[in-house]
């Protein structure tokens, strides 16, 4: 008898960590790593110097919190802006600047979006997210989603930037397990470059086929005319 595969909270957390690392590394063109160790915590909280959080609901409910130090927030912000072609002399110098909050909010939106896409494809369920919220803090603020969760679990993972600045990811969600009953194929995302290349290849083949058809038609016409 085939043993059914079970997906636990830690497996879902790993998918979230992969989304955070992949999206931030791509957006900043720098390496963003996460610790191989996960910490069990009793509650989630926003901590100085900069806290972001987003709620999700659907197949399962939860809360994602990312707490940045001022240095980590500025590094990710400046690396992202430079990667977008913005000159360094036009960048904000303080983590309290609105621009920093806007960029981190956009990055948070992208990484949670990547996570929800993974959940949809790999767990065969859907979750939706609200608009990320960002707060510049000088003291700790506890966040609770206990009212929405029957058996809440909370985890914390340490991340490091390319310049070894630290930030923390916290996930709170209902204790749940996904049990795979049947095998299924996970649909792979196509990159924009692959789609463009495939389109160009198809257009080139169609153009060559049209040219060949015209050449054959002209050849047949010349044969009929005895030329």
**CA 113, CA 120: separation in Å to the nearest integer?**
11
Largest pairwise CA distance in the chain? 93
Ranges of H-type helices in 66-191? 70-83, 98-122
Q: Provide the CA 32 distance to its chain's centre, in angstroms.
A: 13
Name the region of 212 (left: φ>0; alpha: ψ -120 to 50; beta: rest): alpha
What is the pLDDT averaged over residues 104-130? 91
**CA 105, CA 125: separation in Å to the nearest integer?**
25
Task: Tell me 134's DSSP state.
Answer: E
**CA 156, CA 160: separation in Å to the nearest integer?**
13
Please give the pLDDT value at position 195.
Answer: 44
Q: For 17-76, what is each residue's pLDDT tens digit?
A: 999 999 999 999 999 999 999 999 988 999 988 999 999 888 888 899 999 999 999 999
In which band, very low, low, confident or very high, does the pLDDT at 16 lie, cut at 50, 70 and 90? very high
Q: Provide the CA 179 distance to its chain's centre, in angstroms.
A: 24
Say which residue, 3 or 128, is predicted with more confidence. Answer: 128
Q: For 124-163, what is each residue's pLDDT tens digit?
A: 999 998 889 888 888 887 776 544 677 789 999 999 999 9
The domain defined by 6-179 folds into Chemotaxis protein chec (3.40.1550)
**CA 154, CA 65: separation in Å to the nearest integer?**
11
- Three-class secondary structure of residue 102 per DSSP: helix
Looking only at the bridges linking them, the beta strands covering 62-68 and 141-143 are unpaired
What is the pLDDT averaged over residues 101-129? 92
Hey, how many other C-beta atoms are within 10 angstroms of the C-beta on 36? 8
- Three-class secondary structure of residue 171 per DSSP: strand
Please give the pLDDT value at position 198.
Answer: 55
Q: Over 50: is that where the pLDDT of 89 sits? A: yes
Q: Over 60: is that where the pLDDT of 119 sits? A: yes
What is the pLDDT averaged over residues 84-109? 90
Which residue ranges make up each domain of the chain? 6-179, 190-226
Q: Over 70: is that where the pLDDT of 213 sits? A: no
Say which residue, 80 or 96, is predicted with more confidence. Answer: 80
As to burial, measured by CB atoms within 10 angstroms (0-12 exposed, 13-18 middle, 19+ buried), residue 97 is middle
Q: How far apart are the first and last CA of the chain?
A: 75
Q: For 164-207, what is each residue's pLDDT tens digit?
A: 999 999 999 988 888 888 877 766 665 545 545 555 566 666 66
């Amino acid at each position: 008898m085939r043993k059914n595969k079970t997906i636990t909270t830690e497996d879902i957390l790993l998918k979230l960590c992969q989304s955070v690392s992949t999206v931030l590394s791509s957006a900043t063109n720098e390496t963003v790593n996460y610790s191989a160790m996960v910490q069990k915590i009793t509650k989630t909280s926003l901590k100085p110097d900069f806290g972001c959080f987003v709620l999700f609901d659907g197949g399962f409910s939860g809360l994602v919190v990312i707490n940045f130090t001022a240095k980590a927030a500025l590094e990710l912000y400046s690396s992202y802006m430079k990667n977008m072609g913005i000159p360094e002399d036009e960048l904000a110098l303080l983590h309290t600047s609105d621009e920093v909050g806007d960029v981190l909010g956009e990055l948070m939106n992208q990484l949670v979006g990547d996570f929800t896409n993974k959940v949809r494809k790999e767990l065969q369920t859907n979750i939706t997210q609200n608009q990320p919220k960002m707060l510049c803090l000088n003291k700790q603020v506890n966040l609770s989603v206990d009212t929405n969760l029957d058996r809440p679990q909370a985890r914390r993972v340490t991340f490091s930037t390319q310049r070894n600045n630290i930030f923390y990811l916290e996930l709170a969600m209902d204790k749940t397990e996904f049990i795979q009953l049947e095998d299924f194929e996970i649909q792979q995302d196509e990159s924009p470059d692959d789609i463009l290349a495939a389109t160009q290849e198809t257009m080139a083949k169609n153009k060559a086929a049209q040219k060949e058809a015209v050449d054959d038609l002209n050849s047949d016409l010349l044969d009929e005319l005895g030329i």
